[in-house]
């Protein structure tokens, strides 16, 4: 279930109440007249089945609620209520398959910001990856993958491309375009320090270690895994449970490849450098293409459901136009 807190002008509150009251997947509807101070108006609280959350929010947007008030969403982890069970049964589909698009937009908007923490995580991830490559440690390679924050901007770019949100796309590309060079530079400088202090041999090559040679030797499976990871990442992002995201981070070779680019450049090993560059490019491209394809399919399914909802009784109760009513000639 999803909890909605709606602040709405008093003149618009009756339509909002009619809409929510006529929606079978809504329960625990509470009306608090005159309680909002900024902006002034009424407060309406309700719980709605996750499957219908975006559908109803789109109706509220059509009524003009965001322009004159606000809509806040909060995920309900558990609820003991027969009314809530009835509301969930009234919604079509399964909660685990439902996509709350407003929630997806909020998640990606937060993770596309280019800030100090993002750059710090990129640097630390590449440094951990560098040590993993030096020592041939798969554990450290996996740790670098988990620490790396690059999937946030990649997911933001996918969402922006599907929903045509230019601002989010620019922020995502800026985060990737600055974050990866910063991480690569950190790995480059760290390698020079390690060579100067004798921690790493000047003739070190990552491809000599069977546990890390894949980082600089992309193959057909690199493309396949990147595409699978991109699709899995988008499904994890849009679903109610996002525990699979950690597995997605571990399955892609973006951070280790970035670290190896810095290492190979510092050692003048241009064969490894070209291989790591190819691995990074393949992973980024595969993730974005598969992510966009997955989100596009989910969006099409939502759009088709939204079209079927246009003539719903709840919209009639709120006075919203429907396909059949809009098609009738005006007298």
Q: What pTM value is reported for the model? A: 0.82
CA quadruple 307, 310, 314, 319: dihedral positive or negative? positive
What local confidence, expressed as pLDDT, does residue 307 receive? 86
pLDDT tens, the chain, 331 aa long: 899 999 999 999 999 999 999 999 999 999 999 999 989 999 999 999 988 899 999 999 999 999 989 999 998 888 888 998 898 888 887 776 778 888 888 877 777 778 899 999 999 999 999 999 999 888 999 899 989 899 889 989 999 999 888 888 999 999 999 999 999 999 999 999 999 999 988 888 877 777 777 888 888 998 999 999 889 888 888 876 555 555 566 667 899 999 999 999 999 999 999 999 999 999 999 999 999 999 999 999 888 888 888 888 888 888 888 755 444 443 3
What local confidence, expressed as pLDDT, does residue 217 receive? 86
What local confidence, expressed as pLDDT, does residue 326 receive? 42
What local confidence, expressed as pLDDT, does residue 237 receive? 81
Cis before residue 39, ω within 30 degrees of 0? yes
CA 82-83-85 angle, to 5 degrees, is 65
DSSP characters for 174-227?
HHHHHHHHHHHHHHHHHHHHHHHTTSS-TT--GGGSTTTGGGG---HHHHHHHH
* Token code pair at residue 20: 């929510």
What share of residues in the chain are helix, strand, coil (percent, to 5)? 65, 10, 25
What local confidence, expressed as pLDDT, does residue 214 receive? 83
């Amino acid at each position: 279930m999803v909890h909605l807190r709606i602040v709405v002008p008093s003149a618009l509150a009756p339509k909002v109440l009619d809409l929510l009251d006529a929606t079978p997947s809504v329960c625990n509807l509470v009306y608090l007249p005159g309680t909002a101070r900024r902006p002034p108006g009424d407060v309406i609280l309700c719980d709605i089945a996750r499957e219908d959350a975006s559908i109803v929010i789109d109706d509220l947007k059509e009524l003009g609620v965001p322009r004159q008030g606000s809509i806040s969403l909060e995920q309900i982890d558990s609820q003991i209520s027969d009314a809530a069970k009835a509301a969930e049964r009234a919604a079509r589909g399964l909660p685990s398959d439902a996509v709350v698009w407003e929630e997806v937009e909020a998640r990606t908007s937060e993770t596309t910001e280019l800030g100090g923490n993002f750059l710090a995580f990129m640097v630390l991830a590449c440094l951990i990856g560098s040590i993993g490559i030096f020592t041939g440690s798969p554990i450290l390679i996996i740790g670098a993958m988990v620490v790396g924050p690059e999937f946030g901007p990649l997911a933001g770019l996918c969402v922006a491309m599907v929903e045509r949100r230019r601002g989010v796309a620019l922020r995502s590309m800026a985060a990737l375009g600055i974050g990866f060079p910063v991480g690569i530079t950190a790995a480059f400088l760290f390698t020079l320090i390690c060579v100067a202090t004798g921690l790493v041999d000047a003739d070190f090559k990552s491809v000599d270690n069977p546990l890390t040679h894949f980082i600089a030797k992309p193959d057909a499976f690199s493309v396949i895994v990147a595409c699978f990871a991109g699709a899995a990442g988008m499904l994890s992002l849009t679903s109610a449970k996002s525990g699979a995201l950690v597995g997605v981070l571990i399955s892609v070779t973006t951070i280790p490849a970035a670290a190896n680019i810095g290492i190979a450049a510092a050692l003048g090993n241009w064969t490894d450098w070209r291989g790591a560059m190819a691995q990074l490019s393949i992973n980024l491209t595969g993730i974005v293409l598969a992510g966009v394809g997955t989100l596009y399919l989910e969006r099409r399914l939502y759009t088709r459901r939204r079209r079927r909802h246009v003539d719903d009784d709840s919209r009639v109760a709120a006075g919203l136009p429907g396909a059949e009513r809009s098609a009738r000639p005006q007298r």
